[in-house]
Amino acid sequence: MITFIPRDKVSKNWIIIAPILSIVFTIFFGLLIFTFLGYNPLETLYQIFVSPFSRIDRISDILVKACPLIIIGTGLMLCFKSNVWNIGAEGQFIMGALLAGFIALSFPNIETKFFLLITILAGFVGGALWAFIPAILKTKLNVNEILVSLMLVYVAMLFIDFIVRGPLRDPMSFGFPLSKPYPEGALINKIPFPGIGFLGQLHYGILFVFLLVPISWIFVNKTLGGFKINVLGSAPQAAKFAGFKQNSITITVLLLSGGLAGVAGVIEVSANIGQLQPEVSFGYGFTAIIVAFLGRLSPVGILFAGIIIATVKLGADNAQMTMGIPKVVTGLFEGILLFFLLTGETLQKYKIKWSEGKK
């Protein structure tokens, strides 16, 4: 019988040991599954974990894939830290992209890149507005935000579908559901490297991540706002005594996380798609929830978690291209990886005690 005993504080050693153990367990199960299904297990593991780092442009593709996950995950971190369960980032992502897209398409000839500031702001507002609904319902009427934010995901999905097939459809698209292409001013360019050209899809939007991670680290660890969020999450009673206004914190973190999800939406569409289409988010909002937890709700952790998830997704594609391993197998493997990574978190917080049988 195994029992867990809480540690007084998160163990420093286990911060390193736990993820390694998780990976070891995953690899062990991976070896079993791949062997059982008749694929070369070592080569499969190589394709999934190592091949994404085997070329510089592949590494840049990891960054591109991780970019929206890290941005959304950082916003969600603020929510989850203060015990506000926003699981509707997918909808906020969509509404941010949609509002920014609407503004971009309203100025079809604009060329200056300063316009990007406006569309990104619009994305923030769009996402924040969508998150404002659960925020106001939660604080004024005590409505559970988990479910409101989740419901709003479906409303957002249907709404963009309606807009792209109706009002914003490009008349030249033969009835296909696509908007007109964005004007030059609303596009995020790829980064040119002298002598190499472009590296995969690497675009300037990545810079936002490099800004966001340190800023959020400072916010969480060094400012009063971050302190309040931490206290509210870990000791709500203490927060009450200290006179923190719980409602205003709840609203703030929801608006921030919605806004960041919206910005992720703008970056994703402006850099990688260049027009509105019925599907702009591909589950990023949900995957980012996993990223936030894998990252142990810390900015640096989320950076790494985003990269891990992106790596495995890319590696799965590589495994399919070179070895013909179908997506269902790598999906299965991904699920196992998640389970063990999440278990790793428990090992950091709790000590294991082996006891003989049950009392």
Partner 1 sequence: MEALILTIIATSIPLLLAATGELIAEKSGVLNLGVEGMMLSGAVGALGAVLWLENPYYGIIAGALSGILMASIFSLFTINFMTNQVATGLGLTIFATGLTGLAGAPLVGKTIPSLPKIEIFLLSDIPLIGSILFKQDFVAYLSIGIIIFISFFLKYSKSGIILRAVGDDHQSAHSVGYPVKKIRWYTTCFGGMCAGIGGAYIPLVLTPHWSEGMTAGRGWIALALVVFASWIPWRIIVGALIFGGITIAQLVGQARGWPIPSQLLSMMPYIATIIALTMISGRLSKNNSVVPSSLGKPFFGSQ
Partner 2 sequence: MIKFCMRIFSLIAFSISVLFFVISNAFAGSPTKVGFVYLTTPGDHGWTYAHELGKQMVEKRFGKDVKVSVVENVPEGPDATRVIRELAKQGNEIIFTTSFGYMEPTLKVAKEFPNVKFEHITGYKRSKNVATGNIRFYEGRYIQGVVAGLMTKTNKIGYIGAYPIAEVIMGINAFAQGLKSVNKDASISVIWANTWYDPVKEADAAKVHIAEGADVLAQHTDSPAMLQIAEKNGAMGFGQSTDMSAFAPKAQLFASINNWGPYYIKKIEELRNGKWNTGDGPNHWPGNVWGGIKSDMLVISKFQNMPANVAQKAQEALDGIKTGKINIFAGPLIDNTGKEIIPAGKALDDGALWGMNYYLQGVNGKVPG
Interface ranges with partner 2 (CB under 8 A):
57-58, 61, 64-65, 161, 165-166, 169, 174-177, 198, 200-201, 268, 271-275, 277, 279-280, 282, 314, 317-318, 320-322, 324, 326-328
Whole-number minimum distance, CB 346 to partner 1, in Å? Answer: 5
Q: Does 150 interact with partner 1 (rule: CB under 8 A)?
A: yes
Helices (H), 166-298: 206-222, 224-234, 236-241, 246-268, 284-294
CA angle 310–258–214, rounded 5-degree value: 60
* Amino acid (1-letter code) at residue 28: F
Which of partner 1, partner 2, none lies near 108, with the C-beta cut-off 5 to 8 A by kind?
A: none
Quick check: 172 binds partner 1 (CB under 8 A)?
A: no
Cβ proximity to partner 1: between 199 and 288 the closer is: 288
Tokens of 288: 């980012």
Q: Which does 339 bind (CB under 5 to 8 A by kind): partner 1, partner 2, none?
A: partner 1
- How many whole angstroms separate alpha carbon 329 and alpha carbon 354? 34
CA dist 191 → 121, 279, 287 (Å): 22, 25, 26
Supply the angle between the helices 206-222 and 246-268 in degrees, to the nearest 10: 170
Identify which of 73, 74, 72, 49 has the alpha carbon closest to the alpha carbon of residue 62.
49
From 43-51, 61-69, 238-246, 343-351, span contacting partner 1 (CB under 8 A): 343-351
Which of 208, 192, 212 lies closest to 200, judged by CA? 192
Within 307-326, the residues that bind partner 1 by CB under 8 A are 326
Whole-angstrom distance, CA of residue 288 vs CA of residue 71: 8
Q: Considering only 38-46, 62-70, 136-144, 235-243, which stretch makes contact with partner 1 by CB under 8 A?
A: 136-144
In the complex, minimum distance from the CB of residue 40 to partner 2, in angstroms, rounded to a whole number? 16
Contacts of 54 (CB under 8 A, 6+ apart): none
Residues 233-272 touching partner 1, rule: CB under 8 A, are none
| Under rule CB under 8 A, residue 38 binds partner 1 | no
Q: Between 71 and 164, whose beta carbon lies closer to partner 1?
A: 164
DSSP string, 32-52: HHHHHTTS-HHHHHIIIIIGG
Does residue number 87 form part of the binding site for partner 1 (CB under 8 A)? yes
Q: What does 147 interact with, of partner 1, partner 2, none (CB < 5 to 8 A by kind)?
A: partner 1
161 interacts with partner 1 by CB under 8 A: yes
- CB–CB of 333/48 below 8 Å? yes
The encoded tokens of residue 1 equal 């019988």
223 binds, among partner 1, partner 2, none (CB under 5 to 8 A by kind): none
170 binds, among partner 2, partner 1, none (CB under 5 to 8 A by kind): none
Burial class (CB in 10 A: 0-12, 13-18, 19+), 350: middle
Among 48, 63, 148, 263, binds partner 1 (CB under 8 A): 148
Q: Is residue 336 within 8 Å of 312, Cβ to Cβ?
A: no
* Integer Cα distance of 272 and 63 in angstroms: 13
Encoded one letter per residue, x for contact with partner 1 by CB under 8 A and - for no contact, window 275-294 reads -----------xx-xx--xx
- Considering beta carbons, is residue 161 or 317 the nearer one to partner 1? 161
Beta bridge partners of 68: none
CB of 130 to partner 1, least distance (A): 12
Does 343 participate in binding partner 1 (rule CB under 8 A)? yes
> Is the separation of the CB atoms in 323 and 38 below 8 Å?
no
CB 268 within 8 A of CB 69: no
Q: Does 339 bind partner 1 (CB under 8 A)?
A: yes
Angle between helices 56-81 and 206-222 (to 10 degrees): 30
Binding at 184: pick from partner 2, partner 1, none (beta carbon under 5-8 Å per type): none
Judged by the rule CB under 8 A, the positions of this chain that interact with partner 1 are: 2-6, 37, 85, 87, 133, 137, 141-144, 146-148, 150-152, 154-155, 158-159, 161-162, 165-166, 286-287, 289-290, 293-294, 326-336, 338-339, 342-343, 345-346, 349-350, 358
